[in-house]
Structure 1
């Protein structure tokens, strides 16, 4: 088959050029190819392209005239309904359902068209699927249902609608025990969090399999106003620990969220030198290991102890060198932290593997 003709088929379909496409097919005798051909690594058919781009006239032609199967799938097992739903093309979704498309067909990783629709803020498409008996309680391979996905995207109208049609949909947890509240908090969806706290009976400080709470998700991603909502309306704890004994004050140091640090220490009076259980690391250790120079300075402004050691006798300078962060090591030395031996007799300098870190010690 002429490669140029095949490329032209795809181009005309993606561009929605119906008359040119049908003419090209008939002139070049490509009707059978248009029905059966899977293109590229994805294995998409022309019907996939039409559904994805919302070209209803082409989609209808391919199914009715060319004979493309409404359940044809690509290499990810995506059906045409997945494509139309994921891009929010209501007319195509409606047509495919009328033609008998399976409403809860599964693509790779067990995603349904409804889940795909919930990645978009298109209530009309979601309502159409629900009215054709799509099941919002189905879960994908990670244990997420459509409600988890809607809470991640943060559209209050979609969240309200799903709670109306499936009042218990909020009770589902992912395979890592994360609730939709965790998801909404992590992504900073304040309106959705408000809805969840008002309409759903979540336990305060419910933990996922790593011991992370929704409050932790909020602050370590810098969503301070949302964290306040969890404190005020859900009695969240600002000092809860995950399974490693790490508290929010440590987590925000890891992610370099300096305003969240100020919020925890100045407003909530969390001890900036609080140690995580286990290795007894402080926020200063965590920030140094991640190489967050500005965060190190903020911690010191908030009263962090520059010379504090962990359970193994390591200072923040050791951690900066473990992380191979030259600028963090330089900053700590400039602030007055001297190199020292840990409990095993190892100095921070001995942990340096990169030449730029070694030069820091040579110049100090």
Structure 2
């Protein structure tokens, strides 16, 4: 760009526009040449050239220039790393003193936001989002002490305010500018966008407001800032989840506790009948203190989802021994059956969770209870899965080695059929019959 800049500066913008691209510029991209002409005109405060460039640009006289006009010249200057603070101030000076205007596009604001260009954003929002005519009209009324009725002022603002819609979606229907700033944790930009009228209750197509994205930032201060501006803390997305679900999903105890203290419904159900406590128990990266905090704040440990399961089932599936103990100590029903008749002990056996099997049996879980789907007992599923240690433990604690499933298949028959030799031998030793 440096060489292009030098050639244009020497030959003159008007000369190049009038006579076509200079022979020294033929090897360069047409878009870069156009942007360089704008930059030189801005640097030299060359209003005549800027007007000439604008006229030619808007009238499509630059036939070989292919970038999108709707993004505005300032956007294309920025993406070429040419929109410095001093250059932006010159643009502002030009727009304030003349009728020349530079478009502030949603694409420009979006990329500045993504790049965390706080200084450039502030200048743009402060100086370039109102038309000159609107500002001059207000100055006129002020200068001549003319009274301005509220209704007239509102009408003027409605007609003359050329503000880029800060609530407009910036890349797709999933994000607004404020959503993006919240998710990235850009506190300064968030304050600025809200101050300039960004809607903190604006929903995307998933039904999520900026508070959902603030929770995903894992920054409590961002969440506080959005809440203090009056957003709905129990707003649901299309899945029936509230921001508290998001905090539990990302395992953020700090954000979850802040939301609860601020009024979030701790036992709110999503579309599957699950509460934030279910979500906190899922996945491998469990935050034990988060789960315990939820329980301490009144989360219902026996709340059923639409499949008849309680949070204890999730804790067992993912092997969270300490959470299983926490639930048991807080009254979780260890004999709870889901819609298929599976009990917590059956789930522990099916998933090979030795330690949890012991926890449940020690608390009095029924060892011989069969499910109502295929009438298998915890011992049968343990034999099928090949978990010898669990099989031995169950037998030692009273499991019926001859209890059959719905197909009249015994534990010994199944272990023999599946070639579980050591388990077959163990069952025979304990008196099992084929």
Deviation digits for residues 155-198 of structure 1, max 9, x if unmatched? Answer: 22111111222x13313111111111222123222222232222
Q: Is the 8 A contact 1:245 1:278 kept in 2?
A: yes
* Matched residue count: 312
| Structure 1: unaligned runs, 5 residues or longer | 1-17, 39-45, 73-78
TM-score using structure 1 length: 0.69
- Aligned to 2:241, the other structure's residue is in SS state coil
Whether 1:257 aligns to 2:320 is yes
| Structure 2: unaligned runs, 5 residues or longer | 9-24, 36-64, 69-73, 92-101, 130-163, 396-400, 424-434
Q: Is the 8 A contact 2:357 2:390 kept in 1?
A: no
Map of 2:31 onto structure 1: 32
The CA deviation at 1:154 is 2.8
**Using the alignment, how far apart are the partners of 1:238 and 1:196 within structure 2?**
19
The CA deviation at 1:220 is 3.6
Map of 2:371 onto structure 1: 310
**Using the alignment, how far apart are the partners of 2:254 and 2:81 within structure 1?**
30
Map of 2:243 onto structure 1: 180
The CA deviation at 1:247 is 0.5
Whether 1:171 aligns to 2:234 is yes
Map of 1:361 onto structure 2: 420
Q: Decide which moves more: 121-130 or 218-227.
A: 218-227
Map of 2:218 onto structure 1: 154
Map of 2:345 onto structure 1: 284
Query: RMSD across aligned C-alpha pairs, in angstroms?
Result: 4.3
Equivalent of residue 209 in structure 1, options 260, 265, 271: 271
The CA deviation at 1:264 is 1.4
Listed as ranges, the matches of 1:210-289 within 5 Å are 210-220=272-282, 222-233=286-297, 235-265=298-328, 267-271=329-333, 273-289=334-350
**Using the alignment, how far apart are the partners of 1:144 and 1:333 within structure 2?**
48
Deviation digits for residues 230-259 of structure 1, max 9, x if unmatched? Answer: 3333x2211111121101111211222222
The CA deviation at 1:339 is 8.9
**Using the alignment, how far apart are the partners of 2:278 and 2:81 within structure 1?**
40
Go from structure 1 to structure 2 and tell me whether the alpha carbon gap of 1:32 and 1:244 turns closer, same or farther (over 3 Å shift).
same
The CA deviation at 1:330 is 4.9
Q: Is the 8 A contact 1:86 1:119 kept in 2?
A: no
**Using the alignment, how far apart are the partners of 1:28 and 1:108 within structure 2?**
36
**Using the alignment, how far apart are the partners of 2:177 and 2:81 within structure 1?**
15
Listed as ranges, the matches of 1:1-364 within 5 Å are 28-32=27-31, 36=66, 57=84, 71=105, 79-94=107-122, 97=125, 101-106=164-169, 107-165=171-229, 167-200=230-263, 202-220=264-282, 222-233=286-297, 235-265=298-328, 267-271=329-333, 273-289=334-350, 291=351, 293=352, 295-303=353-361, 304-312=365-373, 313-316=375-378, 329-333=387-391, 335=393, 341-345=404-408, 361-362=420-421, 364=423
The CA deviation at 1:85 is 2.6
Q: Is the 8 A contact 1:317 1:329 kept in 2?
A: no
Go from structure 1 to structure 2 and tell me whether the alpha carbon gap of 1:48 and 1:279 turns closer, same or farther (over 3 Å shift).
farther
Q: Is the 8 A contact 1:56 1:91 kept in 2?
A: no
The CA deviation at 1:153 is 2.6
